[in-house]
Amino acid sequence: MALAAASAALFLGSWTLLHQLWYRSAGEIVDTPGYETYGDAIAAGQVPYRDFTVEYPPGALLPMLAPELTASRGNFGEYGHSFEKWMAGAGVLMTLLAALALAALRPPPLRAVVAMLLVGASPLLLGNLMLSRFDLWVAALTVGALAALLWERDTTSAIVLGAAIATKLFPAVLVPIGLAWVWRRRGRRAALVWTAVVAAVCAVVFLPFAVLSPGGVGHSFGVQLGRPLQLESLGGAILIALHNDAGTTLHVFTTVSQNLSGPGAHAAAVLSTVAQVAALLAVWLLYARGPATRERLVAYAAAAVVAFVAFGKVLSPQYLVWLIPLVALVRSRLPQVLLVAALVLTQIEFPARYWQLANDLKPSIAAVVLARDLVLVALAVLLVVEPGRERVEEPALFVGGQSP
């Protein structure tokens, strides 16, 4: 309890420094104007997807609408400050839920301190992009679902994971792992019930909007799934390196992000998707074939999310937020070192030098991005290798009078 409180305090202290030190001169690239547009429209009585276009799942509207409770409508300055306060709260929640998950692993003191130090100091490592994205909220939901699985609270985990998926889709990569975990621990029927609850929560969130505007909801999926090759992705970073070294033709164009076009860009996008799917299938199958221990659960949950991020055709800097509470839980120190490296490399590039990459494809900044992407690939591989070295036995947790 004391460690969790100390880590939460460290998170808040780190958060306050994001407007100070070198962050002050780094500048900001913010997403909050778009969030405020959605929040103002909802507060004015408009229906999302039907009355205005939304690119996010319905669950994402909650953190966008929350600042409307503490800010004047149409006042961007107030909205931005209010949003930061709500996200600081989400970060504290993420920290406390990571501590709850860690407690289920019964780690030695040094491991526990290192893990919670990583989570608490994460704003300083990643930088001020945290201030204006809602990813801390979905990261909190994701690690909360994992914590519930570790503590044998199946229904709770399914509800929270369903809410996370309805907020930003990517936590769906944990469904096969959760299904295998519950199946191995409590049998097929329990696993099917768990999956049904996840699906039911998603349906409760999505269906009302789908009924009101099936085209609007379909468009939001189309925007996300149909995005072209983003320049910070692994495929994009490789193409930029080839362009800078060999003079290949490459162009940057803007949709919801900055993307690449030119010879090889479409092929790189396709190959990225294939690699992402293959990596996820490998993680799921390897997990299902091994023992259902808590250490393997946290390692493979982290591996699934890292693989999704590392091999996708889109790799926005805020995706690194998703990894923080998951990788912090793993037993081995090397994955945590690699995560720190990935966070710091991301901060070096974004936001201070991002436009040097997007406008000029500057070689030095492109090299930083490529290095970060390769670190994430190494992290994904390491997370599925390390659990193979652990003991199969583990102490039982007693929850509700029953051992798992």
CA distance 39 to 48: 10
**Is 90 within the bounds of a domain?**
no
Do 369 and 350 form a contact (C-beta atoms < 8 A)? no
Provide the residue range defining the domain that includes 284. 227-389
Give me the pLDDT at residue 403, please: 36
Q: State how far the alpha carbon of 55 is from the alpha carbons of 46, 52, 89, 301, in Å.
A: 16, 10, 24, 26
**Is 101 within the bounds of a domain?**
no
**Is 131 within the bounds of a domain?**
no
Residue bearing tokens 């406390």: 96
**Is 340 within the bounds of a domain?**
yes
**Residues in a beta bridge with 230:** 259
Give me the pLDDT at residue 28, please: 87
Other beta carbons less than 10 A from residue 393's beta carbon:
7
pTM: 0.94
Alpha-helical runs (H) found in 187-332: 188-212, 214-225, 234-246, 265-289, 294-311, 320-327
**Is 334 within the bounds of a domain?**
yes
Give me the pLDDT at residue 73, please: 74
Q: State how far the alpha carbon of 282 is from the alpha carbons of 182, 215, 288, 289, in Å.
A: 19, 34, 10, 11
CA distance 182 to 126: 34
* Run of H or E residues at 140: helix 135-150
**Is 197 within the bounds of a domain?**
no
Give me the pLDDT at residue 393, please: 46
User: What is the residue-level pLDDT of the chain in tens, covering all 404 positions?
Assistant: 899 999 999 999 999 999 888 888 878 899 999 999 999 999 999 999 999 999 999 999 999 999 998 887 767 789 999 999 999 999 999 999 999 999 999 999 999 999 999 999 999 999 999 999 999 999 999 999 999 999 999 999 999 999 999 999 999 999 999 999 999 999 999 999 999 999 999 999 999 999 999 999 999 999 888 999 999 999 999 999 999 999 999 999 999 899 999 999 999 999 999 999 999 999 999 999 999 999 999 999 999 999 999 999 999 999 999 999 999 999 999 999 999 999 999 999 999 999 999 999 999 999 999 999 999 999 999 999 866 555 444 545 544 433 33
CA distance 377 to 391: 26
Q: Which residue type occupies 167?
A: T
Angle between helices 175-186 and 188-212 (to 10 degrees): 150
CA distance 111 to 333: 8
First to last CA, the chain: 23
Q: State how far the alpha carbon of 92 is from the alpha carbons of 210, 231, 260, in Å.
A: 33, 32, 37
CA distance 109 to 254: 48
**Is 39 within the bounds of a domain?**
no
Residue bearing tokens 């801390």: 136
Task: Specify the number of domains making up the chain.
Answer: 1
Do 58 and 229 form a contact (C-beta atoms < 8 A)? no
CA distance 120 to 137: 15
**Is 128 within the bounds of a domain?**
no
